[in-house]
Structure 1
Amino acid sequence: MKWYKDSPDEGDYVVVSITDVDKNSAYADLEEYEGQRGLIHISEVARSWIQDVTKELSEGEKTVAQVIEIGDGSINLSLKRVNEKQKKDAMARWNKEKKASTFLEQLADELDMSTDEIYEEVGFKLQEEFGTSFTGFEISVGEEERLLEMFDEKTVEAIQEVARENINLKQEKFEGEIRLEFEQGDGVRRIREAFEDLGDAVEAKYVSAPKYAITAWGRNPELAKKRMDEAVDSIREKAEELEGTFEFSKV
């Protein structure tokens, strides 16, 4: 896994693997920064007083530390300054980015680029913009306009394709009901045309004339609602063009 920065900043929360442990300190490799290593002094291991670091930490243990000082070639870390939420958030970010590394390898094949090139041209930009490149893949289908500000259309389409193949984009859902009527003799055709372009992760089902159930999914409630709003606007515009009556209500 590669990260867009070569080294962390003071105050950052980083995932570390404990390496060498002695009575007074421990060294740890920074998982997100290749070749970077930090020192954890005994005074920064726990909030309570301890006598021996070897009784608190084990080699190979993976945890989260805060960067408290960066000197000439040295990084000092603290475990005691990290609360449970900060630890959970940092581990979640790291786990997501591990998954995203496989997405980026797949994307490199799609775009005929090397791994180094895909990180430089796509991965690092997504990390810097969204916190993780995983998030960039995650929102690529529902919020493609944000990616189109960063990449060309071919790259965005490739990101979306990889996302669809690897991420379940249907988690949170937003439900509604539509009343759609046409008095013209070809009403069935007009209804079909009104519903033909709902967008990604949106479905409409017939209930009973003139009612239709519509559902939008997203990785979060905000994205599900955004997709619903866009679909409803599209159907409303089509209904007006085709001289029909349209009503929408939330369920």
Structure 2
Amino acid sequence: MTNNQNDYPEVGELVVCRVSNVVDFGAFVELEEYGNKEGLIHISELASGWIKHIKDHVQEEQKVVCKVLEVNPKKQQINLSLKDVNEHQKRQKIQDWKNEQKAERWIEFVAEKTDSDKEKIKQKITNKTIDDYGGLMYPVFEEVALEGTTPLTKRGIDQELAETFEEIAKENVEIPYVDITGYLELKARNSNGVEKIKKSLKEGNKIEKDNAKIKISYIGAPYYRVKINAPDYKTAETILEEVTNKVLKKIEEQGGEGKFHREIEEAE
């Protein structure tokens, strides 16, 4: 998130910093997201345990993720901790920061196409999405890339601006889709059994949800593969369950029988 030059971070917030000066008692850093305001990581907050050489832990020009311990705007003082940030938090924060930098460029593209002021556009979108995204812009572009103009128009953004956002989002956002697979075992023992199975599988293919793709394929009687391609694993698992339940319900309604198997080994 890019903040106003006069903003200060909140205590407990994770911030991306550039190490500007390493001294005997710690390291001075510049907060990338807060107008390069200066902060201090005291030696006691660099790492757990005794520190012999500070430069074994931080180097000048290094990018680090710190936790905000104290903020005093009157004294222009920001105290930070490096040791209180774990590797997962560090990776996630760096990724979020990089994503916001991308979003800043994309807002510039929107401003150019609409012949508008970048900051006014950003403020308008932020005001409408603050409750859902806390002022972050990348998730807005991501949602628009997935769902079109609806996420913006339903929040009161005019159609023309929303359409430009959609155009820029779809050109630039890479959605990290995931694949999961399950297997259906379907049986219908009579002369029109094949038709009953086809009707049952059609029920599963009717589902349209969360920009997911559903593919059901035959792999050898009586087994069928169900492949779900969705934006995340939670969504994919939910859709897989819904698809298989629809198919199994339909085959049973027609007097047939069916089972779901998560792995092919179980189905054989």
Q: TM-score under structure 1 normalisation?
A: 0.69
1:186-233 superposed Cα distances (whole Å, 9 cap, x missing partner): xxxxx9xxx9x99956578999xxxxx99764432455578999xxxx
- Among 145, 152, 163, the residue aligned to 1:147: 152
Change (3 A) 1:124 1:7: farther
Letter in 2 for 1:134: Y
Aligned with 2:147: secondary structure? coil
Count of aligned positions: 234
Q: Does residue 135 of structure 1 match 2:136?
A: no
In 1: Cα distance, 2:117 partner to 2:172 partner: 20
In 1: Cα distance, 2:170 partner to 2:227 partner: 18
Matches within 5 A, 1:196-211: 202=213
In 2: Cα distance, 1:162 partner to 1:227 partner: 29
Change (3 A) 1:70 1:121: same
In 2: Cα distance, 1:205 partner to 1:227 partner: 13
Greater Cα radius of gyration, structure 1 or 2:
2
Aligned with 1:109: secondary structure? helix
Aligned with 1:99: secondary structure? helix
Change (3 A) 1:200 1:55: closer
8 Å Cα contact 1:64/1:87 also seen in 2: yes
- Among 169, 172, 193, the residue aligned to 1:166: 172
In 1: Cα distance, 2:47 partner to 2:215 partner: 55
Partner of 2:89: 86
8 Å Cα contact 2:125/2:157 also seen in 1: no
Change (3 A) 1:39 1:143: same
Residue 93 of structure 1: CA displacement?
1.0
Partner of 2:246: none
Deviates more, 1:121-130 or 1:161-170: 121-130
1:23-67 superposed Cα distances (whole Å, 9 cap, x missing partner): 112111111111422111111111121144344321100010000
Residue 117 of structure 1: CA displacement?
1.8
Aligned with 1:135: secondary structure? helix
Q: Does residue 157 of structure 1 match 2:163?
A: yes
Residue 139 of structure 1: CA displacement?
1.7
Partner of 2:231: 219
Change (3 A) 1:58 1:106: same
8 Å Cα contact 1:127/1:133 also seen in 2: no
- Among 115, 118, 126, the residue aligned to 2:118: 115
Residue 82 of structure 1: CA displacement?
1.1
1:153-193 superposed Cα distances (whole Å, 9 cap, x missing partner): 4233322222211123461247899x887xxxxxxxxx9xx
1:109-139 superposed Cα distances (whole Å, 9 cap, x missing partner): 2332122222222257556632531111112
Aligned with 1:85: secondary structure? helix
Aligned with 1:8: secondary structure? coil
Change (3 A) 1:225 1:135: farther
In 1: Cα distance, 2:129 partner to 2:228 partner: 25
Partner of 2:23: 22
8 Å Cα contact 1:216/1:224 also seen in 2: yes
Structure 1: 5+ residue stretches without partners? 182-190, 208-212, 230-248
Change (3 A) 1:30 1:49: same
Partner of 1:2: 2
In 1: Cα distance, 2:158 partner to 2:230 partner: 22
8 Å Cα contact 2:176/2:232 also seen in 1: no
